[in-house]
Amino acid sequence: MSLEFLNAFKFMKKESFLHNLDPRTKLVLALIYTIGALLYNQIMPLLFIFLSLLPIVVFGKILKQWVKSIRGLSFLVIFIIILNTLFISLSFAIAMVLRICIMVSAFSIFFLTVDPNDLALSLISMKVPYEFAFSFSLAFRFVPTIATEAQNIMDAQQSRGYEMQKKGIISQIKNLFPLLIPLIICSIKRAFNVAEALESRAFGSNKERSYYYTIKFSKKDWIFTIYLILFLITLILIRIQFNSMPDWFLWRLPV
C-alpha cells in the first residue's frame, strides 16, 4: 500500500484544465487548502472543504491517481481513529482524518499535475535561489524512482523466501525493516552519485543562467487564483463567526 501511495504522486502528462495551469497557481491551491484544513477541527466544515476538492480532481483527470493516494492512507487513518477515539472522541477522530485527507489531496493534485521542470522554473520566478529550486525539483523527480526501488527490494526479499505480505498491523510494521534499510542505503548511494555528477559539471559555478523557456501567469491562472483567495477569505470569515453558524454546521457525533 505504501508503494501505491508513492506512485500516486507521480507526475502524469495530460491535457486538462488543471495540467495547463501555472505551477504557482497549483502551489497556491495546495497551501490554501492546507491552511483551510488547519482552521477547523469540526466534521462539517472539513467535509465541505474536502468535497470542494472533488470537482478539481475530476476536471483535472486524475481521479484514479487521487483515489490511490487516499487509499494509501488506510493505515494512518486506522491509527488516527483508534488513538483519538480512545483519548478524545470519535467526532474529533473523524475530523482529523478529514484534515489529513484534505492536505494529502491538495498536495497530490500539485505533484500529479506539475512537471518537475516547470516546478523549478516557477520557484526561480519566485526569487528562490537556483540551487534550492533545483534540489527541490530533483527530490520531486526521485519520488517515483524510490517507489520503483522499493518494489524491486520487495521482489528480491520475497525471492529469498521472506514473506512481505503478511496480514496484521504488527506484521506490516515488522516488514518495514527489511524494506527500509536497503532503501535508505540505495538512496544514500544515489545521492553521492548525483553529487559527483553535479560537481563534474561545475554545478553552481556560474550564477547567471539562461533558460530554454519561461513560464507566465495566464488569464485563467489569475481567475483561479482569485477564486482560491476568495475561498480562503470565506473560510476565515466562517471561522470567525463559527458559533453563530446553523446547528447542522456544528453537528458532531454523540460519542
Digit-coded pLDDT (tens) for 128-137: 777 777 777 7
What percent of the chain clears pLDDT 70, i.e. is strictly above it?
85
Q: Which residue has the higher pLDDT, 220 or 12?
A: 220
CA distances from 228 to 134, 204, 235 (A): 27, 36, 11
Could you tell me if 105 and 134 are in contact, meaning their C-beta atoms sit under 8 angstroms apart? no
Query: Average per-residue pLDDT in the chain?
Result: 81
Residue 10 neighbours by CB distance under 10 Å: 16
List, in order, residues 6 or more apart from 102 with CB less than 8 Å away: 33, 34, 36, 37, 46, 49, 50, 53
Residue among 223, 50, 21 nearest 110 (CA) = 21
Give me the residue label for grid cell 468535497: 51
Query: Confidence band (pLDDT; 50, 70, 90) for 168?
Result: low
Q: If you average pLDDT over residues 150-174, what whole number do you get?
A: 70
Confidence of residue 1 (pLDDT cuts 50, 70, 90): very low
pTM to 2 decimal places = 0.76
More confident residue, 174 or 152: 152
Segment 33-56 shows an average pLDDT of 92
Mean pLDDT of 156-169: 68
Angle of helix 169-200 relative to helix 74-87, nearest 10 degrees, comes to 120
Q: Cα–Cα distance between 219 and 237 in angstroms, integer?
A: 27
Per-residue pLDDT tens digits for 226-240: 999 999 999 999 998
pLDDT at residue 210, as a whole number: 65
Instruction: Calculate mean pLDDT across residues 203-222.
Output: 74
**Phi-psi category of 163—alpha, beta or left, where left has phi over 0 and alpha has psi -120 to 50?**
beta
Q: How many CB atoms lie within 10 A of CB 3?
A: 16
Q: Is the pLDDT of residue 9 over 80?
A: no
Does the structure show a pLDDT above 60 at 76? yes
Sign of CA dihedral 109, 112, 117, 118: negative
Residue-level pLDDT at 110:
87
- In this prediction, residue 111 has a pLDDT band, given cuts at 50, 70 and 90, of confident
